[in-house]
Structures are given as structure tokens and as C-alpha cells.
């Protein structure tokens, strides 16, 4: 599931392969932008902002959001292209393919920041500010912790995996109110630590144990024993996001 660390890692790979190179092919497979032609222009930079990714080329900016199922595949040709491709970029022997992207649009480069202006501090960005993030989190004390963590206007980069894991390590249910947090800054700092540690991994780890099947505390572990106390992990899939928790460790 793409979250802020996945997008940061993806941007790093695209930057490594494309930055400073001249595009020899630009094939946008979204009707609204199908006539955009960036061939012959240089990729100046690739950057992420929360879960958003920007490839800046000349006076344009390719903005994408992976949503639930999207990805970028990049490397020496041939990188596979199928019906799910939304954009194909090539720079001689390098090919980058955006697959099943939830959002793909071509923006004016000097205005691309407008689409992310609403976001809170980026957990992996140069603007990270734990004081501001904690204040954002505490601004609505009656709001459920899980809902607040997933709100990108509070802090940018957390998805459902990290939301559930952070609620576990804080000892609170996802449905507990933000007011139950004794120290909101401690929670946002833990969030930063989790994403920062995992920014170069595709298979994220929050437990400190990178062995297969040992990486996560509760996410995806419904019906399995809690790693701390042995109580069976519960889940609720009735909402937009699936919640996982240990009924003994989280209150």
C-alpha cells in the first residue's frame, strides 16, 4: 500500500534514472493530457510531497498520486508496458512507466505547489516541523486518533498501515479521541521516525525485526496473537479503512 515512504523512495529512483536527462519519448495516456509533448526537454528534478510526486520537465510538471494501486516502474529498457500504463517516459535506454496512477496531470511548473498547498508538514520533507504537526493534531481534541492521522492536512505521508501501527505503539485504539494523547508531539515524532527508517525499503518494518512475517505489530494480523501480550488481534472493516488493534495493549 503506497504511503509517504513509498512515494519518497519512488521519487528517489526516478531522480536517479531521469534527472539531468533529455526525454526522447513522452506518451501520456490520459485523454485530457494526451497531446502534451515533452520530448526533447530535460528532466530537471523529481520530488515528493507527502503522497504526491512531481517530475519537473522544462516549464511543465508531471504530477502523480499513486492512490491505492499505483506505481512507477523505472529502469533500463525494456520495462514492461501494458494496458495499465498511464504515462511512458524515455530517455534513450531509460524507461519510466506510471502504472494505475490514481492521479496523473500535467501542470505549469511554477504553479504545481498549489495542488499540495493544503497539506500539513511533510514527514519526509525539508519542511518537517514536529511542533506544527503536533498542534495540527491537537487542534480537534474530540476527533478519533486514527482519523486525524490519516488527514493529510494534519501531517502528510501517513496511510492506513502506519496509522494502525502508530495507534498500537501509542497504546490507544484508533477510535480513541486525540485528547487521550498525553503528548501529541511524541506521536508525530514516532511517525517521523517510522517513515524515515523505512524510506529506502519497499517492505516496511515497524517492529525492528525485518524477518518475513515479523515486520508489523498489528496491521494485517487479524486473528493472530499480539506480539507483546498474545491476545488475538482484532479488526474492523466496516469503514473506509480497515482498523487493526490489540484489545489488551490498546485502550
Multiple choice CATH, 4-116, 3.90.1150.10, 3.40.50.2300, 3.40.630.30, 3.20.190.10: 3.20.190.10
Note whether 243 and 218 are within 8 A (CB): no
C-alpha cell at 186: 511524541
Provide the pLDDT for residue 183: 97
Residue in 49, 51, 86, 221 annotated catalytic: 51
Provide the pLDDT for residue 239: 78
N-term to C-term CA, the chain: 26
Provide the pLDDT for residue 246: 98
DSSP string, 169-220: HHT--TTSBGGG-S-HHHHHHHHHHHHHHTTT-SS--SSS--STT-S-SSTT
What does the alpha-carbon distance between residue 20 and residue 41 come to, in Å, rounded to a whole number? 10
Note whether 85 and 95 are within 8 A (CB): no
Residue in 21, 132, 190, 241 annotated catalytic: 241
* Assigned CATH topology for domain 130-245: Helicase, Ruva Protein; domain 3 (1.10.8)
Query: Across-strand partners of 45?
Result: 56
For 44, phi then psi, to 5°, come to: -85, -45
Domain borders along the chain are: 4-116, 130-245
Identical fold for domains 4-116 and 130-245, yes or no, is: no
Note whether 86 and 80 are within 8 A (CB): no
What does the alpha-carbon distance between residue 241 and residue 179 come to, in Å, rounded to a whole number? 22
Half-sphere exposure (Cβ direction) of 171: Cα atoms closer than 13 Å? 7
C-alpha cell at 173: 485504539
Q: What is the DSSP letter of 81?
A: -
Question: Is 2 among the catalytic positions?
Answer: yes
Residue in 2, 130, 144, 174 annotated catalytic: 2
Cα 120 versus chain centre, distance:
14
Residue in 3, 90, 147, 165 annotated catalytic: 3
Q: What pTM was computed for the model?
A: 0.95
pLDDT digits (tens), the chain, 251 positions:
689 999 999 999 999 999 999 999 999 999 999 999 999 999 999 999 999 999 999 999 999 999 999 999 999 988 889 999 999 999 999 999 999 999 999 999 999 999 999 999 999 999 999 999 999 999 999 999 999 999 999 999 999 999 999 999 999 999 999 999 999 999 999 999 999 999 999 999 999 999 999 999 999 999 999 999 999 999 999 878 899 999 999 99
- Torsion sign, CA atoms 36, 99, 197, 115: positive
The 3-state DSSP class for residue 156 equals strand
What does the alpha-carbon distance between residue 211 and residue 202 come to, in Å, rounded to a whole number? 14
Provide the pLDDT for residue 215: 98
Could you give the angle at the alpha carbon of 66 between the alpha carbons of 222 and 47, nearest 5°? Answer: 125
Question: Is 51 among the catalytic positions?
Answer: yes
Note whether 168 and 250 are within 8 A (CB): yes
- H-helix or E-strand containing 53? strand 52-57
Query: Across-strand partners of 94?
Result: 76, 91
Amino acid at each position: 500500500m503506497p504511503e509517504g515512504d513509498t512515494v519518497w523512495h519512488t521519487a528517489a529512483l526516478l531522480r536517479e534514472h531521469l534527472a539531468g536527462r533529455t526525454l526522447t519519448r513522452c506518451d501520456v495516456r490520459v485523454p485530457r493530457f494526451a497531446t502534451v509533448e515533452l520530448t526533447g526537454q530535460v528532466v530537471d528534478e523529481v520530488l515528493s510531497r507527502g503522497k504526491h510526486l512531481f517530475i519537473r520537465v522544462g516549464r511543465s510538471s508531471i504530477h502523480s498520486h499513486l492512490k491505492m494501486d499505483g506505481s512507477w516502474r523505472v529502469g533500463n529498457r525494456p520495462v514492461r508496458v501494458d494496458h495499465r500504463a498511464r504515462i511512458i517516459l524515455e530517455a534513450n535506454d531509460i524507461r519510466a512507466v506510471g502504472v494505475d496512477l490514481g492521479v496523473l496531470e500535467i501542470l505549469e511548473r511554477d504553479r504545481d505547489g498549489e495542488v499540495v498547498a493544503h497539506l500539513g508538514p511533510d514527514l519526509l520533507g525539508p519542511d518537517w516541523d514536529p511542533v506544527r504537526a503536533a498542534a495540527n493534531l491537537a487542534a480537534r481534541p474530540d476527533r478519533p486518533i486514527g482519523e486525524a492521522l490519516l488527514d493529510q492536512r494534519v501531517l502528510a505521508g501517513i496511510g492506513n498501515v502506519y496509522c494502525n501501527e502508530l495507534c498500537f505503539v501509542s497504546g490507544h485504539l484508533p477510535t480513541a479521541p486525540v485528547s487521550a494523547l498525553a503528548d501529541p508531539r511524541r506521536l508525530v515524532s514516532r511517525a517521523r521516525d517510522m517513515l524515515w527508517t523505512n524510506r529506502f525499503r519497499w517492505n516496511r518494518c515497524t517492529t525492528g525485526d525485518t524477518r518475513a512475517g515479523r515486520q508489523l505489530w498489528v496491521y494485517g494480523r487479524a486473528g493472530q496473537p499480539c506480539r507483546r501480550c498474545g491476545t488475538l488481534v482484532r479488526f474492523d472493516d466496516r469503514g473506509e479503512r480497515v482498523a487493526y488493534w490489540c484489545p489488551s495493549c490498546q485502550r
